[in-house]
Structure 1
Amino acid sequence: MVDEDRYELVFRSGGNGGRTEDKVLVSRTPQAGPGGHPVYADETGIIRAEISDQGEVRMLASGGQQDPTYPVVARRPT
């Protein structure tokens, strides 16, 4: 069953020649991003992303000094 209110963001890390992937589960928040799409955040609120209904991802900074890394893919968790 697919959870419509969650995404798994998959990031490629620099270790192992850039082939290592880190995964973060994000849940829908009541907020909308600059593009008008829902904002999803991890349970700490540090990782935030606007995700369109086509799965396009825009990472959002949660602090003043952040330079968010873009995920390789956003997918629904299974």
Structure 2
Amino acid sequence: MSARRYELTFPGDDGAGPDTVVVERTEASGPGGHPVYADATGIVRAEISDRDEVRMLASGARQALAHPTGARPLPES
């Protein structure tokens, strides 16, 4: 079973350190049949497989999708 929450890491802008976003599992399934995760704003959305493979999903038109450099399951809180 997939984790309830993941921390996604993205490259930082202009040489800054990496950016991290925490996403939580939603009730939705993505195109590959895996759970969809979203951040608190609903802007960052990703389908994450049971092997921690990430497919970013657009949440709006003309959105430029960045691919995370890492996806780490977070422990239950």
TM-score (norm 2): 0.88
- Hey, what's the Cα distance between the residues in 2 that align with 1:76 and 1:56? 11
Correspondence 1:11 to 2:25: no
Q: Give every structure 1 segment of 4 or more consecutive aligned residues whose post-TM-superposition deviation is greater than 2 Å.
A: none
Match of 2:36 among 39, 47, 52: 39
- Hey, what's the Cα distance between the residues in 2 that align with 1:33 and 1:77? 20
Q: Which amino acid aligns with 1:9?
A: L
SS at match of 2:23: strand
Residue-by-residue CA offset, 1:14-53 (whole Å, 9 max, x unaligned): 322xx62000000000000000000000000000000000
Structure 2 stretches lacking a partner, 5+ long: none
Structure 1 stretches lacking a partner, 5+ long: none
How large is the Cα RMSD of the aligned pairs? Answer: 1.2
Match of 1:58 among 51, 55, 75: 55
TM-score (norm 1): 0.87
Q: Which amino acid aligns with 2:39?
A: D
